[in-house]
């Protein structure tokens, strides 16, 4: 799990760095750095179960918004026939931008959930 978290931490830092040209970096840099920080803490052997749950909850609410938004994932899938979201790094269409953002949140949720579940199995007393 330590190597998994070190790799996830580095990938989230890299993802945060890529947000410099995003239309809303003030939202996405902290989102990715939150995940990176807790992966790094897990790597160091420090655990914050309530912070993992808070991150998962906030990310899930935002992901649900992006999924159902009028230019979100459903719109991308139905109205734009699941258009290629990696055709260029500059997202000029809102449904591509929101679908990519949804994917980033999903990755963050999965990583934090894996850590939280692993934490509960390792240290049940810490999760109370």
Contact 37, 8 (CB under 8 A): no
What's the whole-model pTM score?
0.80
Residues 6+ apart with CB under 8 A from 114: 4
Q: What is the pLDDT of residue 127?
A: 46
Q: How far is CA 85 from CA 19, 31, 70, in A?
A: 16, 21, 17
Q: 1: helix, coil or strand?
A: coil
Higher pLDDT, 40 or 49: 40
CA-CA distance, 124 to 128, in Å (whole number)? 7
pLDDT (mean) for 41-51: 91
Question: What single-letter DSSP state applies at residue 13?
Answer: H
Residue 37 corresponds to which tokens in the numbers above? 């920080």
Q: Which tops the pLDDT comparison, 25 or 101?
A: 25
For 85-115, write each residue's pLDDT tens digit. 545 555 566 556 766 788 889 999 999 999 9
Model confidence at 68, in pLDDT bands (50, 70, 90)? confident
Q: What is the pLDDT of residues 47-58, one digit of tens each?
A: 888 999 999 999
Q: Does residue 18 contact residue 27 with C-beta atoms inside 8 Å?
A: no
What 3-state DSSP class applies to 70? Answer: coil
């Amino acid at each position: 799990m330590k190597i998994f978290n070190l790799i996830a931490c580095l990938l989230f830092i890299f993802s945060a760095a890529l947000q410099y040209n995003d239309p809303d970096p003030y939202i996405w840099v902290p989102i990715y750095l939150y995940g990176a920080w807790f992966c790094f803490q897990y790597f160091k052997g420090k655990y914050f179960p309530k912070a993992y749950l808070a991150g998962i909850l906030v990310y899930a609410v935002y992901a649900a918004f992006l999924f159902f938004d009028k230019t979100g994932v459903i719109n991308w899938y139905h109205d734009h026939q699941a258009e290629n979201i990696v055709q260029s790094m500059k997202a000029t269409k809102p449904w591509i931008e929101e679908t990519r953002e949804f994917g980033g949140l999903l990755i963050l949720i999965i990583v934090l959930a894996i850590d939280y579940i692993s934490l509960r199995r390792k240290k049940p007393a810490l999760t109370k």
